[in-house]
Amino acid sequence: MPIVTITLQAGRPAIELRSIMDAIHSATVSAFSVPESSRNQRLIEIAPDLYFKPDGRSKAFMTIEIASFPGRSDAAKAALYQQITENLRRSNAIDSKDVMILLHEPAYENWGINGQPATRFKPA
């Protein structure tokens, strides 16, 4: 169950925000084999005058941070990055240069689920 945080400039309509969230979730389901029902997302909107972005990026620029259990292959991670950017391009016409993804992989002992350390759920 990855935890996804999307940060972007405020001002988009709610339907577009939902479409962005759906596009990212769809990529985690496909690339990381996350169950469709295992959706843990939050979206943070920042006022335009307080949202600074790298040169060459448009007002559509966003960062996507994903915390997930460690252990996925480099190929699975590459597929995730590609699918997120492709889904966002198709659903919202967001250019890949406006998408920055950071994957965090905290060790199992750094997760707590249902009051238990995630080491309890670690694959053998």
**What does the pLDDT profile of the chain (124 residues) look like in tens digits?**
799 999 999 999 999 999 999 999 999 999 999 999 999 999 999 999 999 999 999 999 999 999 999 999 999 999 999 999 999 999 999 999 999 999 999 998 898 888 888 887 777 6
Task: Determine the Cα–Cα distance for residues 122 and 60; give it in Å rounded to an integer.
Answer: 37
pLDDT of residue 114: 86
Residue 124 is predicted with a pLDDT of 64
What is the pTM (predicted TM-score) of this model? 0.92
From CA 15, how far away is CA 101, in angstroms rounded? 22
**Among 36, 47, 39, which residue's Cα sits nearest to residue 10?**
47
